[in-house]
Amino acid sequence: MARKLFGTDGIRGTANSEPMTAETALKVAMAAGQHFRRGEHRHRVVIGKDTRLSCYTMEPALVAGFATMGMDVFTFGPIPTPAVAMLTRSMRADLGVMISASHNPYIDNGIKLFGPDGYKLSDEIEAVIEANVAKGTRKLAPPAELGRVKRLDDAQGRYIEFVKATFPSARGLEGMKIVIDCANGAAYSVAPTVLWELGADVVPIAVEPDGFNINEQCGATAPGNLQKVVLAEKADIGIALDGDADRLIVVDEKGEVVNGDQLMAVIAGDWHINGRLRGGGVVATVMSNLGLERHLGELGLDLIRTDVGDRYVVEHMRGHDYNLGGEQSGHIILSDYATTGDGLVAALQVLAVLRERDKPVSEVARPFKPVPQLLKNARKDGGAPMKNAGVKAAISDGEGRLGASGRLLIRPSGTEPVIRVMAEGDDNALITEIVDSIVTAIEGAGG
């Protein structure tokens, strides 16, 4: 059965439109509850959310659905996605739920599900839940076995202590001035608290959510204001999280952005030297820069590439015993600590390296020179342009011109009617010519 609800990161869409309606949330909760009710113990579900206005419609619907199936529900209020994953495990819950559309604007929302092990559900389990939604048949709990609902007031405190315990430096963060951009999202309270309790001089920004301003000109996808504040405050570093705090971008003391590829290189190099890196390398996606691959190769490490999506990175890490992986966008998975991307935990690892080396971010956080990379979208109006002879010829020509000194990646978008064309190589003019040629061929192929 073709999946209609679940995408690469749970269920996502425009708030109060299908599938992001309270009605569908209720059905998803009941279907998931039916699948995860196993045995005679009191089943429990934990639910976190970000700061979107629509969370106030989605949360009660999910709570009702799970309670109807006889599952006890613990709600956390606004809290990062990785906190939900962590608390799912530590509280021995049968299921964890995060209500968030991550880095998307407030008009969108989403539902992310975590299994008892704290990992996002597999494609197979999501397919079963989706089939249960479609069937609409439920084995409801009898009146005496309805689930109970409780707000867990110390959820944020539990996560704060967990994050602090991942910081490896005994020196703390005393003497460091840190600007933290919380994207008016789920980490608006916990992130500044963690940094302050570790000793930093903290300048928090985008920490006044109003239901509408999550990710609005702030956070990991829009670091412009963070750059300005770092310079104005003469801060040592700027840290930007996204709306659900599973993504990290850093700004150095000069106001320049450092992306996920560079941050993974920093952590990998430090862990390699200290004997902490497992698997002999790093797991990233096909979008990570060729410069990262070359840099790791110089250290005797491998870069393993997966499909786009942090869930595929995690899947490979689990299957092959790697403990570091992530995406160029800033999802960084440190499996010694977390089952999913955790922007705050990753930030502390970078801060620990800065502490150890006593050098500014600009000298530490760019261990390699990125290879020129260009990504463009080619619109398609149905049909199968990738089968067109002209398109195939343009791709073949591009691959030949790049040779072994570059990389060409062409993939259809999972969310838009476009084909993404990406090329990278040492010659910026050449990759521009190649990408433009392929985009022109795709758009000229017709239906």
Q: Which residue segments constitute the domains of the chain, with CATH numbers given?
A: 6-153 (3.40.120.10), 158-255 (3.40.120.10), 258-364 (3.40.120.10), 373-443 (3.30.310.50)
**Which H or E run includes 99?**
strand 95-99
Can you count the helices (H) and strands (E) in the chain? 14, 19
The mean pLDDT value of the chain amounts to: 94
- List CB contacts of 383: < 8 A, sequence separation 6 or more: 445, 446, 447
Record the pTM: 0.92
pLDDT confidence tier of residue 414, bands split at 50, 70 and 90: low
pLDDT confidence tier of residue 264, bands split at 50, 70 and 90: very high
Number of neighbouring beta carbons within 10 Å of residue 48: 33
What does 258-284 look like in DSSP terms, one character per residue?
E-HHHHHHHHHHHHHHTT---TTEEEE
Number of neighbouring beta carbons within 10 Å of residue 297: 12
The pLDDT assigned to 39 comes to 82
Does the pLDDT at position 8 exceed 80?
A: no
pLDDT in tens, 98-157: 999 999 999 999 999 999 999 999 989 999 999 999 998 778 999 999 999 999 999 999
Give the residue-averaged pLDDT of 29-41.
91
Asked whether the beta carbons of 180 and 192 are under 8 A apart, the reply is yes
The pLDDT assigned to 401 comes to 93
Lowest mean pLDDT among 18-22, 154-158, 244-248, 411-415: 411-415
Give the residue-averaged pLDDT of 220-246.
97
pLDDT confidence tier of residue 9, bands split at 50, 70 and 90: confident
pLDDT above 70 as % of the chain: 98
102, 329, 335, 437: the catalytic one is 102
Kind of pairing, strands 332-334 and 324-326?
antiparallel
Q: State how far the Cα of 343 lies from the Cα of 349, in Å rounded to an integer.
A: 10
Give the residue-averaged pLDDT of 266-280.
97
Does the pLDDT at position 447 exceed 60?
A: no
Q: Which of 318, 345, 315, 319 is nearest to 330 (CA)?
A: 345
Range list of H helices, 69-214? 81-90, 123-135, 155-165, 190-197
Q: State how far the Cα of 228 lies from the Cα of 119, in Å rounded to an integer.
A: 37
- List CB contacts of 122: < 8 A, sequence separation 6 or more: none
Q: 260-273 vs 290-298: helix axis angle to the nearest 10?
A: 10
Q: State how far the Cα of 181 lies from the Cα of 135, in Å rounded to an integer.
A: 44
Q: State how far the Cα of 149 lies from the Cα of 92, in Å rounded to an integer.
A: 16
pLDDT in tens, 197-210: 999 999 999 999 99
The pLDDT assigned to 446 comes to 64
362 is catalytic: no
Asked whether the beta carbons of 228 and 181 are under 8 A apart, the reply is no
pLDDT in tens, 290-324: 999 999 999 999 999 998 888 899 999 999 999 99
Number of neighbouring beta carbons within 10 Å of residue 232: 11
Task: Please name the residue that has the structure tokens 């903290």.
Answer: 202
Residues present in the chain in total: 447
Q: Which of 363, 362, 332 is nearest to 348 (CA)?
A: 332
- From the centroid of its chain, how far is CA 313? 11
The pLDDT assigned to 137 comes to 72
The pLDDT assigned to 383 comes to 75
